[in-house]
């Protein structure tokens, strides 16, 4: 079973729409959670960390459900510039140090 | 500005040749990582290092080697044993090791694209 699973999409939504991405992780010992965005042929960039109580950054809201091992990202009022691939990332510590586990990403295209 | 610098941006490898990708960070991060990304696929971990002079194999270490002689530097060598080296290589770093400093994310360099001649 993969460490992190995401719906690959693609999600094609009109400008102004609300869109939600989901992610599940397999190891309950996972400690920290993040959403990254990756533009075509570029490096991943941190979008936001995900905290247990849920957190919001402008149009973006992240939620964590530890019991269900489920993470979500909600984007409100989508902009053309939101078009990218969104990566769900989970961090866990082993006896060899911290490791980050990446989902394969969910592709979003915002249409004018 | 603090950040991670990868060089070169593009690299071409001939048959039987070893090539080295550079990664330097001035963020004072302890941990550094190398990933490979193939088109349309996710990131796969090659090697990682939590402290100087120590590193661990990731999921796809065969055909690659690394060194960590300085905290700031974590070069990756793609050896001739790696038969399918064409990919986008990403170096990352993060603060804290062994569970300390929760919620510290990874920061990425802008990558090196490696192709076979």
Report CB contact under 8 Å: B43, A44: yes
What tokens does B58 get? 């990731």
| Res B97: pLDDT | 65
| Res B98: pLDDT | 59
Shortest Cα distance, chain B CAs vs residue A18, angstroms: 25
| Res A95: pLDDT | 78
- Angle, CA of A41, A46 and A47, to the nearest 5°: 105
Instruction: Specify whether the CB–CB gap between B66 and B82 falls below 8 A.
Output: no
Report CB contact under 8 Å: A104, B42: yes
| Res B102: pLDDT | 64
| Contact residues, B window 49-78, toward A, CB-based 8 Å cutoff | 50, 56
Shortest Cα distance, chain B CAs vs residue A103, angstroms: 6
Instruction: Specify whether the CB–CB gap between A38 and A87 falls below 8 A.
Output: yes
Rounded Cα distance, A80 and A13, in Å: 10
Ranges of chain A with pLDDT below 50: none
Q: How many CB pairs under 8 A join A and B?
A: 60
| Res B101: pLDDT | 57
| Res B39: pLDDT | 86
Rounded Cα distance, B78 and B22, in Å: 11
Distance, CA of B91 to chain centre? 4
pLDDT along chain B (117 residues), means of 10: 91 91 95 93 93 94 97 96 93 77 85 92
CB-based contacts of A59: which residues, under 8 Å, 6+ apart? A75, A76, A77, A79
What tokens does A18 get? 């609300």
* Contact residues, chain B, for A34 at CB < 8 Å: 105
Summarised one tens digit per residue, pLDDT across range B23-35 is 999 999 999 999 9
| Res B104: pLDDT | 84
Report CB contact under 8 Å: A102, B88: no
> B93 to each of A16, A100, B50, B69, B115, how far by Cα in Å?
35, 11, 9, 15, 24
CB nearest B99 (choices: A31, A46, A105)? A31
Summarised one tens digit per residue, pLDDT across range A74-99 is 999 999 999 999 999 999 887 778 88
| Res A25: pLDDT | 96
* Contact residues, chain B, for A46 at CB < 8 Å: 105-107
Counting Cα atoms < 13 Å in the Cβ hemisphere of A89 gives: 26
3-state DSSP call for residue A60? strand
Distance, CA of B114 to chain centre? 13
- A5, B40, A86, A23: CA torsion to nearest 10: -10
* Contact residues, chain B, for A42 at CB < 8 Å: 110-111
CB nearest B43 (choices: A34, A41, A102)? A102
Region of A95 (left: φ > 0; alpha: ψ -120 to 50; beta: rest) is alpha
CB atoms within 10 A of CB A70: 13
């Amino acid at each position: 079973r993969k460490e992190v699973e995401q719906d690959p999409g693609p999600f094609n939504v009109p400008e102004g729409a609300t869109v939600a991405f989901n992610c599940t992780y397999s190891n309950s010992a996972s400690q920290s959670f993040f959403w990254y965005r990756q533009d075509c042929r570029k490096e991943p960039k941190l979008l936001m960390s995900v905290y247990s109580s849920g957190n919001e950054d402008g149009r973006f809201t992240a939620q964590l459900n530890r019991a269900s091992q489920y993470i979500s990202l909600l984007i409100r009022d989508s902009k053309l510039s939101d078009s990218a691939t969104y990566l769900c990332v989970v961090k866990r510590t082993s006896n060899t140090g911290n490791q980050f586990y990446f989902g394969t990403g969910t592709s979003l295209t915002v249409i004018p | 500005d603090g950040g991670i610098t990868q060089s070169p941006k593009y690299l071409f490898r001939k048959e039987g040749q070893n090539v080295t990708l550079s990664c330097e960070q001035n963020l004072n991060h302890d941990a550094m990582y190398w990933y490979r990304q193939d088109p349309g696929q996710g990131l796969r971990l090659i090697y990682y290092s939590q402290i100087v002079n120590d590193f661990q194999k990731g999921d796809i270490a065969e055909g690659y080697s690394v060194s960590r002689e300085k905290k700031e530097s974590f070069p990756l060598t793609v050896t001739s044993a790696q038969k399918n080296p064409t990919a986008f290589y990403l170096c990352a770093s993060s603060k804290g090791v062994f569970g300390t400093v929760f919620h510290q994310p990874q920061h990425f360099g802008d990558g090196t694209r490696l192709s076979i001649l």
